[in-house]
């Protein structure tokens, strides 16, 4: 029988979307308490420790990762997940959907379900989680406020026109899916990394050092931090979770006319340099 998602149950269903981070040590106390209080928990997590931890918090936990094994395309996987979320909330249940990392970053199903349910009058809230970008900043010792930071999904960056600012850091997500335009596979397109390397060399020197980064999904493990020249990117070994970090290659220049708007000159802001040596 087809499911009718336009019929609202008389019970008061609600949806909480939470992020559990990349491993159990990342979970906030707020997220933990909402998992414990939910009638049903729906889960997508990358490692058995996170799965076990969440099932210990709430035995009524269903793993949505099963949809990855059903032969669907990626868009259909996310649609099926969203339909399952909607189904349970419209049955009147208090549902907590838990995704690894941040539940609103590169997670289509939570956005689809949340939008539908909000439009139909169901309460929907989202709690943040520690995501791969937070791990990258910590593991590579970066402050995005230093040079500034550009952030794109790798294939969208490759296939759309972007003005690259090479005086700011560049982060490209889902490197392991670069050029995979069909959305049916979980691997790079045949020419994806070579095309991306070619594009980046229009803005950066060929010998510019870039980093293949992967945050650890188990506590106590080291992140992947493989530095290489940009010209070595095309044959690199990447996974679906690999992120490309491209440091800035030049200093930004001050805009004289904007300084003039404030009655300033470059000498007035020399103190911006945080990396002057200090005496200890």
Residue 198: which CATH number? Answer: 3.30.950.10
Say how many domains are in the chain: 2
182 in any annotated domain: yes
Measured between alpha carbons, how far is 138 from 149 in angstroms, rounded to an integer? 15
Whether 87 and 179 map to the same domain: the answer is no
pLDDT digits (tens, 9 = 90+) for 156-171: 999 999 999 999 999 9
259 in any annotated domain: no
pLDDT tens for each residue of the chain, 280 residues long? 344 444 444 458 999 999 999 988 999 999 999 999 999 999 999 788 999 999 999 999 999 989 988 888 888 999 999 999 999 999 999 999 999 999 999 899 999 999 999 999 999 999 999 999 999 999 999 999 889 999 999 999 999 999 999 999 999 999 988 988 656 656 666 689 999 999 999 999 999 999 999 999 888 899 999 999 999 999 999 988 899 999 999 998 889 999 999 999 888 887 776 555 666 7
Identify the domain boundary among 97, 126, 155: 126
Whether 83 and 161 map to the same domain: the answer is no
- Length of the chain measured in residues: 280
Measured at the CA of 98, the angle between CA 153 and CA 122, to 5 degrees, comes to 100
Which listed residue (78, 122, 213, 245) is catalytic?
78
Measured between alpha carbons, how far is 91 from 109 in angstroms, rounded to an integer? 18
Which listed residue (5, 55, 72, 74) is catalytic?
74
18 in any annotated domain: yes
Number of H helices, E strands in the chain: 9, 10
Measured between alpha carbons, how far is 113 from 82 in angstroms, rounded to an integer? 5
Whether 152 and 101 map to the same domain: the answer is no
Identify the domain boundary among 126, 143, 167: 126
For the question of residue 74 being annotated catalytic, the response is yes
Residue keyed to tokens 């868009």: 75
User: 64 near 96, Cβ under 8 Å?
Assistant: no
According to the model, what pLDDT value does residue 30 have?
96
270 in any annotated domain: no
Whether 122 and 136 map to the same domain: the answer is no
3-state SS assignment for residue 96: strand
Whether 35 and 59 map to the same domain: the answer is yes
Burial class, 31, CB count within 10 angstroms (exposed 0-12 / middle 13-18 / buried 19+): buried
Whether 186 and 120 map to the same domain: the answer is no
75 in any annotated domain: yes
Which listed residue (14, 100, 122, 213) is catalytic?
100
Whether 59 and 164 map to the same domain: the answer is no
Query: Which domain, by its residues, includes 207?
Result: 132-246
Measured at the CA of 99, the angle between CA 25 and CA 138, to 5 degrees, comes to 45
- 67 φ/ψ angles, rounded to the nearest 5 degrees: -65, -20
Whether 51 and 120 map to the same domain: the answer is yes
Find, among 132, 129, 140, the residue nearest to 24 by Cα: 129
109 in any annotated domain: yes
Whether 237 and 177 map to the same domain: the answer is yes
CATH number at residue 21: 3.40.1010.10
275 in any annotated domain: no
1 in any annotated domain: no
Identify the domain boundary among 73, 108, 126: 126
Whether 99 and 178 map to the same domain: the answer is no
For the question of residue 72 being annotated catalytic, the response is no
For the question of residue 14 being annotated catalytic, the response is no
Whether 167 and 122 map to the same domain: the answer is no
CB count within 10 Å of CB 164 equals: 16
């Amino acid at each position: 029988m087809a499911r009718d998602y336009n019929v609202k149950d008389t019970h008061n269903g609600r949806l909480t979307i939470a992020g559990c981070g990349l491993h159990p040590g990342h979970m906030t106390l707020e997220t933990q308490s909402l998992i414990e209080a939910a009638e049903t928990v729906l889960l997508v997590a990358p490692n058995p420790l996170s799965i076990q931890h969440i099932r210990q918090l709430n035995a009524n936990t269903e793993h949505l990762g099963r949809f990855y094994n059903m032969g669907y395309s990626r868009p259909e996987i996310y649609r099926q997940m969203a339909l399952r979320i909607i189904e349970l909330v419209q049955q009147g249940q208090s549902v907590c959907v838990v995704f690894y990392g941040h539940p609103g970053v590169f997670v289509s199903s939570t956005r689809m379900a949340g939008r539908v349910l909000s439009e139909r009058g169901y309460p929907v809230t989202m709690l943040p989680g520690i995501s791969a970008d937070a791990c990258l900043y910590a593991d590579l010792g970066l402050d995005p406020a230093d040079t500034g930071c550009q952030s794109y999904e790798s294939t969208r960056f490759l296939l759309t026109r972007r003005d690259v600012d090479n005086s700011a850091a560049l982060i490209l997500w889902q490197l392991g899916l670069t050029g995979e335009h069909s959305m049916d596979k979980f691997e790079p397109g045949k020419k994806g990394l070579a095309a991306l390397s070619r594009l980046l060399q229009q803005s950066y020197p060929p010998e510019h050092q870039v980093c293949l980064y992967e945050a650890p999904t188990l506590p106590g493990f080291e992140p992947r931090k493989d530095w290489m020249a940009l010209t070595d990117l095309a044959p690199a070994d990447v996974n679906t979770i690999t992120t490309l970090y491209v440091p800035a290659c030049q200093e930004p220049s001050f805009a004289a006319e904007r300084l003039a708007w404030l009655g300033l000159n470059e000498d007035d802001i020399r103190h911006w340099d945080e990396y002057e040596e200090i005496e200890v």
